[in-house]
Amino acid sequence: LAAAAAAVALLQLAGGGWRRPVALVPWSVLAAASVAGRAAVEPLRLALERHAVDLALAALLAAWLPLAWRWLVGGRTGRAAFALLLPLALATPHLTPPMYGDEPFHLLLMQSMLADRDLDLVNQVDAGDPNQAPYLEGRPLLHSPALALLLLPGFAAAGRAGALALLAAFGAATLALVDRRAADLGLGRRRRALLALAVLTSYPLATFSTQVWPEMVGAFALALGLVAAARRRAVAATAAALLAAAVKTRLALLGFPVAAAAWLGGSRRRLVVAGAVLAAAGSAALAVGWATMGHPFGYYRRLGHLVELAPGQAATVLGGLLLDPAGGLAFSAPLWLLALA
């Protein structure tokens, strides 16, 4: 609650929200929670212990929403996004340990870069921990080190919180790029503001800006590539595709077609240059995988695993993409399904 109060105060002071009557709403939530926590009636204290994080988030949203709407309508999308994503990123390490899967791997890799100045995780991994032991199976590495390298300055400054703060910045920049593209397509400011609010408070921004996974950086790179390609900035689009493929090889399937489209048109010489540049960028992306993981697809996968010809397997994958309770679009991002429909 104290951290939420500090975040609310900073928001209102920075954005001038303290001048508005609605400025009292978040403070009312925090005051009520504080009184409940000091009440002698035990059920109230127990309820507060269970829902303190929910109340803190409610207070933060109550302070952020009026300011965010003004910023979004005024075209300051990045500021509105960062003002929400940064407090969430800074709070996450105090609420939950690193999640299973990729996040502990990337944190250990950054630790290795700082402590040992290498990519060998032998000194960082606890081989007796069943959750960490697999990280040594794919030596040299299970995943690309590009994400760890990008987040290393934040990790060096403030550990996991610093790395997540950088991811919050990538998330804010991603939304700003999406807003710019929507503006180029003629969408009005209020509609873009509603779009930004929906994206900010749902999957994937609110999810992957608080987890050390490559999705947020990949989304930023792909959004940058789309904006650059639409403005015929082919070199920038190619650089964005290279960044996406460096953090996750399969993102090349999304990034490089966009980059290729940015090179279309013009003289034959331009097409020759385009082929050379795209080939060099693609080779560089594959080289990252070969050099650090032993194969661009990582330790467990090969091309045959990705090109599945069995119809039954394809139907299973499609069903999982739609209905899997952990990550299926019907549960994690129903608005995306509605948009596709």
pLDDT for the residue numbered 100: 65
pLDDT for the residue numbered 46: 74
Q: How far is CA 119 from CA 13, 62, 190, 288, 292, in A?
A: 43, 43, 47, 13, 8
The label of the residue with tokens 């966009």 reads: 258
pLDDT for the residue numbered 69: 92
> Contact, 244 vs 222, CB < 8 A?
yes
Distance CA 259, CA 276 (A): 13
Residue 326 — pLDDT band, cuts 50, 70, 90? low
Is residue 303 pLDDT above 80, yes or no?
no
Average pLDDT for the chain: 86
Is residue 45 pLDDT above 90, yes or no?
no
What is the DSSP secondary structure assignment for residue 211, as one 8-state letter? S
> Contact, 258 vs 243, CB < 8 A?
no
Q: Which of 49-63, 126-140, 286-300 has the highest mean pLDDT?
A: 49-63
Is residue 138 pLDDT above 60, yes or no?
no
Tens-digit pLDDT profile for residues 11-36: 888 888 788 888 888 989 888 888 87
Is residue 298 pLDDT above 80, yes or no?
no
Which of 66-75, 93-102, 285-294, 301-310 is least confident? 301-310
What six digits make up the tokens of 16? 């001038």
Tens-digit pLDDT profile for residues 218-260: 999 999 999 999 999 999 999 999 999 999 888 998 999 999 9
The label of the residue with tokens 């509105």 reads: 80
Torsion-angle region of 144 (φ positive above 0: left; ψ -120 to 50: alpha; else: beta): beta
pLDDT for the residue numbered 327: 66
